[in-house]
Structure 1
Amino acid sequence: MLKPLRSSFSLAGLLAVLVLTGCAHSPPSDPWDPLEKVNRFNYKVNEKADKYAVRPVAKGYDKVVPARVQASVSNFFDNIGQPVTMANSLLQLKWGKFNQSLGRFMVNTSFGVGGLFDVATKLNVPNPDEDFGQTLGYWGLGAGPYIYLPLLGPSDGRDLVGSAVDQFANPIDYLDEFDEIDDDYPWVPYALRGLEGINLRASLLGFDQTLQQQFDPYAFVRSYYLENRQKAVYDGNVPPELTRSDDDADDFPAAASESDSSD
């Protein structure tokens, strides 16, 4: 059968290619946000959705589910996403990161009960983070315009393409290849994606007050996102001429998925 998840992201990728055309560079010190009016509208929509739906669910989840279980859920999704890092490490010729990611995947899948326990970190195996958006940036493609997507949040033209391509390396999107899941449990991939989103939102509850204290939360999120994505592309070694001048992003906690971070 058609894979709804992969086909929807593929369509998004095709649309993003049109956005990226002719946009090789976007100086991060001067964010290119030509869709700012639309983006701000989408930000307000997401704020309302978060206030009345997502956040209450995440708070309930955080209250009911023990911290250790939440950590295991995070470990599971980190582990199942390692093939994405492996594939993009190869595409960027980063053999060390490929070996680290492969090692983590093998150790945590085998000895960590399918990734529920992060044994690899206890063995001091680094946790690299590479995606196709970073791969495109590594080979010289600029970020393109900043985009704030309904429900999905901040992105840019390059990362929108990257997110679409990365789905092909994520094992979750292949679960419907198994007949017993496809026939009897077709909802499993969607349930896993939902759990991943709720668990992530619950992990960010502590940052809500920081965001609320910002004079312009939209600009703050934009600055934070663009700076951290730029650091990811350059593995933290951003050329001085490309360093962002925005001071706001420094106040936001470091991204949980930053390169070479561990759980």
Structure 2
Amino acid sequence: MQGLCLVLAVGGCASIPPDQRDPGDRFEAGNRSVYHFNEELDRAALKPVSKAYVEYIPQPVRTATSNFFHNLRYLDTVLNGFLQGKVAQGSSDLARFGINSTIGIVGLFDVASKLGLPSHDEDFGQTLAVWGAGPGEYLVYPLIGPSGVRDTGGVVVSMLTNPIFYIASPVAIPLGIISVIDLRARNEGFTRFRDAAALDPYIFTRESYLQYRQFEIYDGKPPRVKLEFLDEPAMDPQAEKITPEPVSSDPQE
């Protein structure tokens, strides 16, 4: 899939003049092609199905479904917490997974949060960033959406740590479809805001993704950007001070 995306990206670069390309998105033309493909697929299939899902499935059932799939994916967070050297957090996350998988009935109920074990979000892309790997090129994958060279590793590891990957097809395929519908329904708010507020939805999605990844990598505390106003001349402490002349209060002057 990554190879397909790279081929589309390189092949489409000629459609955007060099002076209009974003230097941080070298494969923008190809990325836009994949982005529009994903949007058309969403409009044709995912959005109508997720809308029906929200309208006809009661909220408690949807919440339990989201909890179930979040718990299935949580082994990825556990593994990468340890790989990042967060031993205390990794141990807490392992306990959280165990409690929700048992007392929470295979994750349908989030019992662990009520016991003081908060949820975290870690993946292999974040782990690579913690250990010094650069982000690489920004990429948009078919079906998956925004990603990048570094985050591609996270996609692969997330798949390998998800129990659905090892379940027989007759069970895995329906679970995978329900998981996608659930995720699309939960992202409806972002999609509506993007469509209403963004002049260019592609750029809005890209910048939102990159900022969110930065937020995740730094555990919600990204470094502040120091603004330097290089064009503003520095004040000379030896410069002559100009004292304004006093204004007379006499109306005759």
- Shorter-chain TM range is 0.7 to 0.9
Measure how far apart 1:31 and its partner are: 6.7
User: Is the 8 Å Cα contact of residues 33 and 146 (structure 1) preserved in structure 2?
Assistant: yes
- Corresponding residue number in structure 2 for 1:220: 204
The structure with the largest alpha-carbon Rg is 2
User: Is the 8 Å Cα contact of residues 195 and 201 (structure 2) preserved in structure 1?
Assistant: yes
- 1:110 pairs, out of 91, 94, 102, with 102
Letter in 2 for 1:226: L
Measure how far apart 1:230 and its partner are: 1.1
- 2:54 pairs, out of 62, 65, 79, with 62
User: Is the 8 Å Cα contact of residues 140 and 146 (structure 2) preserved in structure 1?
Assistant: yes
Q: Does 1:44 align with 2:27?
A: no
- Corresponding residue number in structure 2 for 1:35: 27
Distance in 2 separating the partners of 1:242 and 1:168: 39
Distance in 1 separating the partners of 2:144 and 2:23: 20
User: Is the 8 Å Cα contact of residues 2 and 141 (structure 2) preserved in structure 1?
Assistant: no
Measure how far apart 1:172 and its partner are: 1.5
Change in Cα spacing, 1:174 to 1:31, as seen in structure 2 (3 Å) is farther
- The Cα RMSD (Å) is 2.2
Unmatched segments (≥5 aa) in structure 2? 10-21, 228-253
- 2:65 pairs, out of 60, 65, 73, with 73
How many residues matched?
211
User: Is the 8 Å Cα contact of residues 85 and 101 (structure 1) preserved in structure 2?
Assistant: yes
What SS does structure 2 have at the residue aligned with 1:187?
helix
User: Is the 8 Å Cα contact of residues 100 and 128 (structure 1) preserved in structure 2?
Assistant: no
Distance in 2 separating the partners of 1:97 and 1:242: 31
Distance in 2 separating the partners of 1:38 and 1:119: 44
Runs of 4+ residues over 3 Å off in structure 1: none
Distance in 1 separating the partners of 2:226 and 2:199: 25
Tell me the alpha carbon deviations over residues 21-51 of structure 1, each in whole angstroms, 9 at most, x when there is no partner.
xxxxxxxxx8721110111111111111111
What SS does structure 2 have at the residue aligned with 1:148?
strand
User: Is the 8 Å Cα contact of residues 124 and 157 (structure 2) preserved in structure 1?
Assistant: yes
Distance in 2 separating the partners of 1:242 and 1:131: 28
Measure how far apart 1:12 and its partner are: 4.7
- TM-score w.r.t. the length of structure 1 is 0.75
Unmatched segments (≥5 aa) in structure 1? 1-10, 20-29, 177-185, 244-263
- TM-score w.r.t. the length of structure 2 is 0.78
